[in-house]
């Protein structure tokens, strides 16, 4: 089904057009055109903005601001974003990575949205014309969100503090069974001083593993030290069931893969 | 439905069409321009059969709206042969029996072409990675991987 596309030079004008009922924002097209191809009749028009700021990556003072239209491929090849490259490369095959955007990934339902799992672990903020919102708050309310996302921002992690794992059945680029991102700080004695762990496919959108985070504090990253965190990892999860894996299977293997990630 | 003008360079030729706003590039190429080499498989971004190269980047024409391609340069498999001589990738796919039903072949060749354009002598793992967005239900992939490696070897021998 063909859908009329309106293109605007500014986000402000695109935001205004997006207020019309039945309109959706077009980023890379991997979600909204896919939905239209599938016969989603709730979409009657598309809106996009060609504002150059949406495609910009700015790195300064250990922080990065990534425009919402920046693609996964652009992140993966950016010389200053090596820490995020693995998460960006986990999204789809080469063609999808050339199209899929950071902004779109925020709205991707499980089993997609692996890059957003990384952003949640990194405590990113999501920018709109109205200001910045913590990513957890944004994800909780994303279904009712109408403002165009303009950027995501986060502090760039030290290479050894950020870990990302995507588990899929088809190698190298299958759909997620689950994905995990963790940012871990360790004290001088090697014990964990802070932990943020985000999970993909453990709900309809990325979630934090807060019980596991708490259980890691003050512990060393060895088999005994992470045992309590692995036992707590499944608290509060509601995994999805899809053709890739059942909710039961995902819950069963989560501690296994979390353990592998923590012991890396 | 509003008609919008779209102009792009397709396989070296200038194209100018009026299309319905919101038409996918896949449909525009096949139904308006008459280039049926990109195949419509899943229309979901999963199979890669519709892959084309837009300004040097591999893209899925089923998920790309034609009007967003205004002013771009597009390459499809039908533009690879020159003066009736097959492109080394096309020749390798034939010579190594990498084609069965042929439906995935144009997308596979486009993905492989982008790889070889940037990495003339890829490793096997790099070939597998480059083709990871393209599904084939016939060959089991191994002949396709061998075809890409064969074309890469042929290229490097020609360059030597």
Lowest average pLDDT, out of A154-158, A254-258, B133-137, B156-160, goes to B156-160
Place of tokens 């492989």: B112
pLDDT of residue A86: 95
Residues near A187 by Cβ (< 8 Å), separated by ≥ 6?
A193
CA distance B27 to B125: 33
Q: How many CB atoms lie under 10 A from the CB of residue B138?
A: 15
Interface test with B, best of A74, A94, A95 (most B CBs within 10 A): A95
Residue A70 pLDDT > 60: yes
Residue in B with minimal Cα distance to A29:
B63
Residue A73, chain B, CB below 8 Å: the answer is: yes
* Token pair of A24 as six digits: 């959706």
The interface predicted TM-score of the complex, written ipTM, equals: 0.95
Average pLDDT of the residues in A87-92:
96
pLDDT band at A257 (very low <50, low <70, confident <90, very high): very high
Q: How far apart are the first and last CA of chain B?
A: 54
The owner of tokens 């990534």 is: A66
| A185 phi and psi angles, rounded to 5 deg | -110, 140
Q: Shortest CA distance to A45 belongs to which of A55, A53, A57, A33?
A: A33
E strand spans, chain B: 3-10, 13-20, 51-54, 57-60, 73-75
- Name residue A176's beta-bridge partners: A168
pLDDT of residue B160: 60
Mutate to test the interface with B, among A46, A47, A94 (most CBs of B within 10 A): A94
Dump pLDDT digits (tens) for B1-26: 689 999 999 999 999 999 999 999 99
Residue numbers of B between 104 and 123 with CB closer than 8 Å to A: 111, 114
Give tens-digit pLDDT for B68-93: 999 999 999 999 998 999 999 999 99
The pTM for the full model equals 0.95
- A153, A63 contact by CB (below 8 A): yes
Nearest residue in B to A2, CA atom: B22
The candidate with the shortest Cα–Cα distance to B136, out of B150, B147, B124, is B147
pLDDT digits (tens, 9 = 90+) for A118-143: 999 999 999 999 999 999 999 999 99
∠A73-A77-A80 over CA atoms, to 5°?
130
What do you get for the CA distance between the two ends of chain A, in Å?
47
Q: Which of A4, A28, A96 sits opposite B21 (nearest CB)?
A: A4
Query: Which of chain A's residues have a Cβ under 8 Å away from the Cβ of B20?
Result: 2
The residue ranges of DSSP E strands in chain A, in sequence order, are 4-8, 23-25, 45-49, 57-60, 63-67, 125-128, 131-134, 151-155, 162-168, 176-186, 192-200, 207-208
Strands B3-10 and B73-75: parallel
User: Interior CA angle at A259 toward A254 and A263, to 5°?
Assistant: 155
How far apart, in whole angstroms, are the C-alpha atoms of residue A132 and residue A262? 31
Residue A83: what are its φ and ψ, rounded to 5°? -65, -25
Q: Give burial (CB, 10 Å; 0-12/13-18/19+) of A55.
A: middle
Q: Is the pLDDT of residue A154 over 60?
A: yes
B48 reaches A (C-beta below 8 A): yes
DSSP one-letter string for A61-100: TTEEEEETT-BHHHHHH-TT-HHHHHHHHTSSSHHHHTT-
Answer yes or no: do A4 and B63 touch at CB < 8 A: no
- The token pair at A206 is 């990325």
Question: Distance between CA atoms of A96 and A73, rounded to whole angstroms?
Answer: 9
- At B143, the pLDDT band (50, 70, 90 cuts) reads very high
Q: Above 80 in pLDDT, residue A197?
A: yes
Percent of chain A with pLDDT over 90: 92
How does pLDDT run across B90-140, given as a tens digit for each residue? Answer: 999 999 999 999 999 999 999 999 999 999 999 999 999 999 999 999 988
Tell me: the pLDDT tens digits for B17-58?
999 999 999 999 999 999 999 999 999 999 999 999 999 999
In contact, B154 and B121? CB cutoff 8 Å: no
- Residue B155: predicted pLDDT: 78
Over residues A73-97, the mean pLDDT reads: 96
Q: Nearest 5 degrees, angle CA A239-CA A148-CA A95? A: 65
Average pLDDT of chain A is: 96
């Amino acid at each position: 089904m063909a859908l009329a596309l309106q293109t605007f030079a500014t986000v402000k004008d695109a935001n205004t057009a997006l207020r019309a009922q039945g309109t959706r924002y077009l980023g890379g097209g991997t979600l909204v055109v896919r939905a239209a191809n599938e016969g989603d009749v709730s979409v009657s028009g598309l809106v996009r903005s060609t504002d150059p700021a949406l495609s910009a990556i700015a790195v300064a003072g250990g922080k990065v601001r990534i425009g919402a239209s920046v693609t996964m491929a652009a992140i993966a090849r950016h010389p200053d974003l090596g820490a995020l490259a693995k998460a960006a490369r986990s999204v789809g095959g080469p063609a999808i990575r050339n199209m899929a955007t950071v902004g779109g990934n925020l709205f991707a339902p499980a089993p997609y949205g692996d890059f957003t799992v990384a952003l949640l672990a990194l405590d990113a903020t999501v920018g709109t014309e109205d200001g910045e919102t913590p990513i957890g708050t944004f994800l909780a309310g994303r279904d009712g969100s109408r403002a165009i996302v303009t950027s995501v921002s986060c502090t760039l992690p030290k290479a050894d503090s950020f870990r990302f794992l995507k588990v899929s059945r088809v190698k190298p680029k299958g759909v997620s069974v689950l994905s995990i991102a963790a940012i871990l700080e360790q004290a001088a004695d090697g014990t964990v001083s802070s932990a943020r762990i985000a999970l993909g496919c453990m709900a309809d959108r990325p979630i934090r593993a807060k019980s596991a985070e708490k259980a890691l504090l003050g512990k060393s990253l060895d088999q005994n030290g992470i045992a309590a965190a692995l036992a707590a990892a499944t608290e509060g999860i509601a995994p999805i069931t899809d053709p890739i894996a059942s909710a039961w299977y995902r819950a069963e293997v989560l501690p296994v893969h979390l353990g592998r990630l923590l012991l890396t | 439905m509003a008609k919008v003008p779209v102009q792009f360079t397709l396989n070296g030729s200038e194209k100018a069409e009026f299309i319905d706003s919101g038409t996918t590039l896949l449909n525009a190429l096949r139904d308006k321009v008459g280039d049926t080499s990109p195949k419509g498989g899943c229309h979901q971004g999963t199979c890669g059969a519709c892959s084309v190269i837009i300004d040097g980047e591999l893209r899925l024409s089923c998920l790309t709206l034609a009007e967003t391609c205004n002013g771009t340069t597009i390459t499809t498999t039908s533009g690879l042969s020159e003066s009736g001589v097959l492109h080394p990738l096309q020749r390798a796919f034939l010579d190594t029996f990498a084609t069965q039903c042929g439906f995935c072949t144009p997308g596979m060749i486009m993905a492989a072409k982008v790889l070889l354009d940037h990495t003339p002598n890829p490793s096997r793992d790099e070939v597998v990675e480059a083709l990871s967005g393209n599904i084939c239900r016939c060959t089991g992939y191994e002949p396709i991987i061998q075809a890409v490696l064969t074309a890469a070897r042929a290229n490097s021998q020609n360059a030597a």
